[in-house]
Amino acid sequence: MNQDLSIVNLILHASWVVQGVVALLVGVSIASWAAIIRKIMALKKVQRLNDAFDREFWSGTSLNDLAAGAAQNARNAGSMERIFASGMREYQKLRERRITDAGTLMDGARRAMRASYQREMDAIEANLSFLATVGSVSPYVGLFGTVWGIMHAFTGLAALEQVTLSTVAPGIAEALVATAIGLFAAIPAVVAYNRFAHDIDRIANKLETFIEEFSNILQRNLGTQSPSRY
């Protein structure tokens, strides 16, 4: 019972299938942590830019000034500002064509904002499916490694005349390492996915609310030659 049963030693003496499963899970775990860190930073940036534009939008600045600022800051704009720019741009184009029908103007602006909204949400949700896949598949990959390792261990024990705990323990421990690493890869991915899904839902609700509020402002300004703030 003086055998070295450390995780590193168990992996080094495991079968090549178990070692391959462990290597795969370690690589997936590293990739998922990289995706988690990138997503944390990306969502913080989205929320910061949206909050900044939301404050500016309700500060009383005219819509034309906001549109001009959005055009100049297109590359560094947040999702809310880009949605606003899309709707305002389409609204102004229709007005320049001397279209006066309220329904046509509002439908055009809403369609432009909805299209921009979908593009923004696609970008915000990037890599979320990867985390979901890691969280759901990793335990099964680890379980496969464990089953294979146990089969390999018992196959080796079949040739022994006397089986004791000291001969069984290393093989079983080697196999169980794969399950442990599978859970190690899956648990952070699941927790991060649930947290990100909650944050993205809040962002989506805020953007949809903004679209409705901005549409109402445009509706009230249909009778004016140039859109004002209120």
Tell me what pLDDT residue 84 has: 93
For residues 187 and 181, what is the distance between their CA atoms, to the nearest angstrom?
10
Cβ-count burial of 212 within 10 angstroms (0-12 exposed, 13-18 middle, 19+ buried)?
exposed
Tell me the whole-structure pTM to 2 decimals. 0.80
Residue 15 Cα distances to 8, 31, 145, 183, 188, angstroms: 13, 24, 9, 20, 27
Name the 3-class secondary structure at 15: coil
For residues 117 and 111, what is the distance between their CA atoms, to the nearest angstrom?
10
**Helices marked H in 58-101:** 63-72, 79-96
Structure tokens at 16: 């090549």
Per-residue pLDDT of the chain (230 residues), as tens digits, is 445 556 666 666 667 777 888 889 999 999 999 999 999 999 999 999 999 999 999 988 888 888 888 888 877 888 999 999 999 999 888 888 887 788 888 899 999 999 999 999 999 998 899 999 999 999 999 888 888 877 776 676 666 566 555 666 666 777 788 888 899 999 999 999 999 999 999 999 999 999 999 999 888 877 555 555 54
Non-local CB neighbours of 180 within 8 Å, separated by 6+ positions: 142
Q: What secondary structure does DSSP assign to 16-45, as a single string? A: HHHHHHHHHHHHHHHHHHHHHHHHHHHHHH
